Amino acid sequence: MTDLLHTRIPRRTVLQAATVGAVGVSPALRALVHAQGSDAPEKKEVRIGFIPLTDCASVVMASVLGIDQKYGVKIIPTKEASWAGVRDKLVNGELDFAHVLYGLVYGVHLGVGGPKKDMAVLMTLNHNGQAITLSRKLADKGAVNGASLAQLMAKERREYTFAQTFPTGTHAMWLYYWLAAHGIHPLKDAKVITVPPPQMVANMRVGNMDGFCVGEPWNHRAIMDGIGITATTTQAIWKDHPEKVLGTTADFVQKYPNTARAVTAAILEASRWIDESLAHKNQMAETIAGKAYVNTSVDAINQRILGRYQDGLGKTWDDPDHMKFYGGGAVNFPYLSDGMWFLTQHKRWGLLKDHPDYLGVAKAINRTDVYRQAATAAKAPLPASDMRSHKLVDGVVWDGKDPAKYADGFKLKA
């Protein structure tokens, strides 16, 4: 390899390799191209917004461990107060990237729930690991899961309030899907409010909501504080569901393609590092529990990332489908079908008035080309297809083949 780098290769050959990119170029020539700077990141320092949640870990660890420097960039993790703030700072360029809700990126792209701007999803940051929490007051009346909640709501009629974190986001969609699967219409039978993740527990403590859907560690924190119980996990709604993504604007990817690839590769490698061992997960928990990141106790984080669950009512279990950051390489590919699913739910609940071009929108947003290049650089495996299939909690199969029929096929909808 050293000999090759000192060998004079025609400039045209190097430029052709740079044009092709990281995919399809021999490793030796790719290394030469990189050494000559043709695929070096155009922007050396990037700001990545995050919300204080366990699943910001791969972004944080890529920076803390210095993995970013290996790929020629410096990641500055930037703590944000709300998803609306993340959205606005991405759109106006204050943030270069963000740890962000999958459905938020799609909503911005289509002008739903805020300003319209062409967006990009570069990778999936995690699968699973969110939950729906019900208040102790509901649990004391017997509402401890979807079926018993539906029974109580039918028996004791009043206004029931549930919270999610952003109108087009993942938590809203998990909450709506779960309620509807148990015969509760989320828009007619309940009041749904938006609360930033770190404020969920405090709001439940003072009685502002009967339940909420949020990422960890806030569900486990509610149990530790004695104010809530876990009614279900999101992996029980959809095993290996997509959750947060690395999001940016389409303009950024166009202007800084090498930077987009480098940052994706760095976070991909950090994702693999987290999932490699128990020691790494514990180190990650200790790091992100700090005030600069999630700002909670380590024990609020480190149990559920290992799959050690309790429901707050005495039940404990080991969940093999806990939060995964890499999962042997299965987690991070930005499947087109994953993005399309959020569009079907946005249509189902009236956030979209008409059926969009489901596949066309997903192809525009999910930059599988950038991911493939980053995965090659980080030596991560790639799937055989851009689509995947799953059966959700109500028995309905999602495979992305007929999204309009799927969206219209639900009994409960807007």
User: Is 285 strand, coil or helix?
Assistant: helix
Residue with tokens 């490699």: 276
User: Is 75 strand, coil or helix?
Assistant: strand
Of the listed ranges 34-43, 136-145, 283-292, the least confidently predicted one is: 34-43
Could you give the CA distance from residue 247 to residue 365 in angstroms, rounded to a whole number?
9
Residue with tokens 């339940």: 211
Beta bridge partners of 77: 48
State pLDDT tens for residues 112-165.
978 999 999 999 999 999 999 999 999 999 999 999 999 999 999 999 999 999
Percent of the chain topping pLDDT 90: 90
Query: Is the preceding omega at residue 381 within 30 degrees of 0, hence cis?
Result: no
User: Mean pLDDT in the chain?
Assistant: 92
pTM score, whole prediction: 0.91
Q: Tell me which residue of 210, 245, 246, 214 sits closest to 228, measured CA to CA.
A: 210
Q: Give the mean pLDDT of 58-62.
A: 98
Q: Tell me the C-alpha to C-alpha distance, in Å, between residue 95 and each of 59, 76, 252.
A: 14, 10, 10
Are 176 and 163 contacting, i.e. CB atoms less than 8 angstroms apart? no
Beta bridge partners of 308: 318
With a CB cutoff of 8 Å and minimum separation 6, the contacts of 353 are none
Q: Give the mean pLDDT of 362-381.
A: 98
The angle subtended at Cα 173 by Cα 169 and Cα 179, nearest 5°, is 150
The pLDDT of residue 37 is 59
Residue with tokens 């919270």: 163
Is the pLDDT at 215 greater than 90? The verdict is yes
User: Is 155 strand, coil or helix?
Assistant: helix
Question: In 162-319, which ranges are continuous DSSP H helix?
Answer: 170-181, 200-205, 218-224, 234-237, 250-255, 257-276, 278-288, 298-301
Is the pLDDT at 18 greater than 80? The verdict is no
